[in-house]
Amino acid sequence: MDGVYADVIEMLRRPAVVEMAIDVLLCAVPIWMAVMIGMIIGWSWRPRWTGLLFLGLRSKLRFFIPPGFGARRLWFAVSAVSALSVCRGLWRDFVGGKDQTVPRRQSVMLNTEIDGSSDGERSSIGISEIKEEVIAEKDLDHLLNLLDDKGDNVWQNLMQRTAPNMIYQAWRNEPEVGPIMYRSRTVFEDATPEFVRDFFSDDEFRLKWDPMLIHFKILEESTQTGETIVHWIKKFPFFCSDREYIIGRRIWESGKTYYCVTKGVPYPALRKREKPRRVEQYFSSWRIKAVESLKQDGQLSACEVTLVHYEDMGIPKDIAKVGVRHGMWGTVKKLQSGMRSYELNRKSNAPVSRSALLAQITTICSLDSACPEEQDSKNEVEIPIKDAGINWKWVALGGMVALLFGASRTIRKK
């Protein structure tokens, strides 16, 4: 008996079991909340016309609705769906209205030309010159090692999706020590590496398409290397406090391939606060290069972005995994939509932001012999992970089965 108990405890401690339990909870809680809201509304207030309407239609619907399906139950179901939709709309309006002020104020402050900016002009907008480099070549080597899969990293296949003019693949690695690592490969059709480099670095425009980013400010910059120190504040779900980031960013160029290293850096001038909570361990870097078009016409008119990302958000790993998996594809679709909007913005001859201008200042290096190519099979374990969203086909099928079962029981009683 003790052996069986120990085996059960060991099974419950596995991350996959905890992750599955969280998935079930995330799917079940909204449904039960909707049911409870519908029951409360149905008990507290129910117009008389719903019963009269149902009684009038009962004779016409007797072939589709089994006996015993009363007006009150129908009203409960309609109230639950309506209340859930209304609450979601109110919450979206509340959150959206609260976050619209910061982006406009911030974009005006940072829209300055970089070529003619002197120390006096830079200080007038609150930006100082970087005195010591915070992103060094060792950080570039770290990115290259991750891209080359040097080490014992085992990447699990997380997602593979396609959209118009885009292909997206994502993997996940769970080291024994440290945060979960994610790697993705995205191919954008009809995009140049220079354009994608500017888009990924343009924090001012990111405020328009990324709902998580609610504040940013360039703290320090280098007009010689293009290196920047940036302050971010990201909005997290209601059960988590917002997160604060102090990140350093620098771009290397080898031929027409760009290596952008972004990581968390210390910044004593900006003291920690209780809220928002500061994320200190942060690494999000990518390689951008031209690849053959998705049309397979031999033209290098597409752009490939290989991203490596990990951070310690202060959230349990199992919960973070579920949250990332549920929100990953939605974020990618917003990114693609934002990039196409950025393309239209560039074509309209809108002024280029300071962040994008700094991204155009790169450190030239020769990495032809050291640059790793993408390896599709090395240290990759194909472990497909299904999306844990609600499959409404099965819900409808279960509802039909329950309906037929209730009808058959009523007929047998008669």
**What pLDDT does 360 receive?**
95
Distance CA 346, CA 80 (A): 46
- 6 burial (CB, 10 Å; 0-12 / 13-18 / 19+) is exposed
Backbone dihedral angles phi then psi of residue 185, each to the nearest 5 degrees = -130, 120
**What pLDDT does 230 receive?**
96
**What pLDDT does 332 receive?**
93
Q: What is the CATH number of domain 100-381?
A: 3.30.530.20
**What pLDDT does 127 receive?**
74
Q: Look up residue 247 and give its DSSP letter.
A: E
DSSP-assigned letters across all residues of 39-56: HHHHHH---HHHHHHHHH
Question: Integer distance in angstroms from the first to the last C-alpha of the chain?
Answer: 49
Task: Tally Cβ neighbours within 10 Å of residue 162.
Answer: 11
**Tens digit of pLDDT per residue, the chain (414 long)?**
566 556 556 655 555 555 556 555 555 566 667 667 766 665 555 555 555 555 565 555 555 555 555 545 555 555 555 555 545 555 555 554 444 333 333 333 333 344 444 444 444 445 778 878 899 999 999 999 999 876 677 899 999 999 888 999 999 999 888 899 999 999 999 999 999 999 999 999 999 999 999 999 999 999 999 999 999 999 987 667 899 999 999 999 998 899 999 999 999 999 998 889 999 999 999 999 999 988 888 888 899 999 999 999 888 888 888 888 888 999 999 999 999 999 999 999 999 999 999 999 999 988 754 444 333 333 333 333 334 444 444 445 455 544 444 544 444 444
Distance CA 239, CA 338 (A): 27
**What pLDDT does 387 receive?**
44
Distance CA 274, CA 247 (A): 19
Sorted by where each begins, the domain ranges of the chain are: 2-94, 100-381
Task: Tally Cβ neighbours within 10 Å of residue 38.
Answer: 20
